[in-house]
Amino acid sequence: MAMSGFEGFEKRLELHFFGDDPVMVDNNLGLRLLGFESLEQVLNAVQCTVVSAVANQYFDAYVLSESSLFVYPTKIIIKTCGTTQLLKSIRPLIHYACNLGLTLCSCRYTRGSFIFPKAQPFPHTSFKEEVIYLEETLPTNLCYRKASVMPSKMTTHSWHVFTASDQSHVIPKDIYTLEVCMTELDRVLARKFFQPPGGTKSGDIAGKEMTKITGIGDINPRAMICDFAFDPCGYSMNGVHNDRYSTIHVTPEDGFSYASFECVGSIYDDDIEHLVGSLRKAVQVFRPGTVSVSTTCSSHEVWTRVAHALEPLGLKCRSCAADEFPAAGSIVFQTFTARRK
């Protein structure tokens, strides 16, 4: 990686399982029964480690050396940056889930366009290679499959999506996932994610300070935050609120600065307008030159609000693409740039 820089754009994998033992699932256990040693084996295949963790009655949230892991009773989400080999987690996860009586029923893989694509290892050397690997790795019961590259007017920003599901997987009509990618961060704000030279603070303590001074802690004040600062720079956090998560990751180096914000929610939430506020606050933390937003939801309730959140910040919507996926529903990909561009 010395010839380029650190790859901020994450790869994201979401796997859903089902089981015949309702007691295990209803007790909010399921995949949460996976031992830490098993999770370590999965992450070893990906080439990352756990640096911090928090849990509540609904799910477990891990901050990784490269992004995040969320474990629910019947769902796992792994999001990794850098030169990690995320798709290599699928086989061990299917194996460990099978030992718990759980069977894979849905897969969704998404990512943006890498800043340093030539630095990526197999199977992430191209989207074509990723799709081939997924096709060969996933069990045959996931027979409804689709791969697509969603374009934008900027050649440097496109959204890569692969989904697969079996006949039984039902798409929740109300749940949405928002994946936000930001580049060209404001240089002054990005400096807040550097640790002072010779600093002796731990990643946990420095992370808490960054959460406070940057305003990240105000994005969702109700959330329990698990944060971590990297040396000499970089930052990750997971926010946990009931059965919902949010996560932020920052690569602040000038020339390839990047930050991501992701959250989940329901269109039936009493405060869906809270989404607009959270998205606006998250983007304000970084004042990026370019923003892309991928909204996964069967309803149009969410993506139509994205522009309302971002345009008051001086960001103009440059492109909007939509597609339907068998294991995800609708995905809408929007790009925004600062009006000064």
Alpha-carbon span 19 to 198, nearest angstrom: 51
Residue 6 counted as an annotated binding residue: yes
Identify the top-confidence range among 21-25, 69-73, 156-160, 266-270. 69-73
Question: If you write DSSP's letter for every residue of 16-58 in order, what string do you get?
Answer: EEEES-HHHHHTT-GGGGS-HHHHHHHHHHHT--EEEEEE-SS
Residue 253 counted as an annotated binding residue: yes
Band the pLDDT of 328: cuts 50, 70, 90. Answer: confident
In the predicted model, what is the mean pLDDT of residues 131-145? 96
Residues 144-183: tens digit of each pLDDT: 999 999 999 888 889 999 999 998 877 777 889 999 999 9
SS3 260: strand
pTM for the full predicted model = 0.94
Domains of the chain: 11-338 (3.60.90.10)
Sign of CA dihedral 77, 182, 83, 216: negative
Contact yes or no for 163/107 (Cβ under 8 A): yes
Residue 66 counted as an annotated binding residue: yes
Q: Cβ–Cβ contacts within 10 Å for residue 55, how many? A: 14
Alpha-carbon span 99 to 133, nearest angstrom: 23
Alpha-carbon span 212 to 49, nearest angstrom: 25
Band the pLDDT of 20: cuts 50, 70, 90. Answer: confident
Specify which residues 147 forms β-bridges with. Answer: 162
Lowest average pLDDT, out of 142-146, 184-188, 268-272, goes to 268-272
In the predicted model, what is the mean pLDDT of residues 127-156? 94
Alpha-carbon span 236 to 223, nearest angstrom: 15
Band the pLDDT of 2: cuts 50, 70, 90. Answer: very low
Alpha-carbon span 76 to 152, nearest angstrom: 29
What single letter denotes the amino acid at residue 48? Answer: C
Q: Would you name the residues annotated as active-site residues?
A: 67, 81, 236, 249
Cross-sheet strand order for the sheet of 290-296: 224-229, 235-241, 244-251, 258-266, 175-183, 290-296, 329-338, 315-325
Tokens at 120, concatenated: 């990526």
Q: Which residues lie below 8 Å from residue 193, measured CB to CB, with a gap of 6+?
A: 210, 214, 229, 233, 234, 235, 250, 252
Angle at CA 258, nearest 5°, toward 255 and 261?
170
Residue 40 counted as an annotated binding residue: no
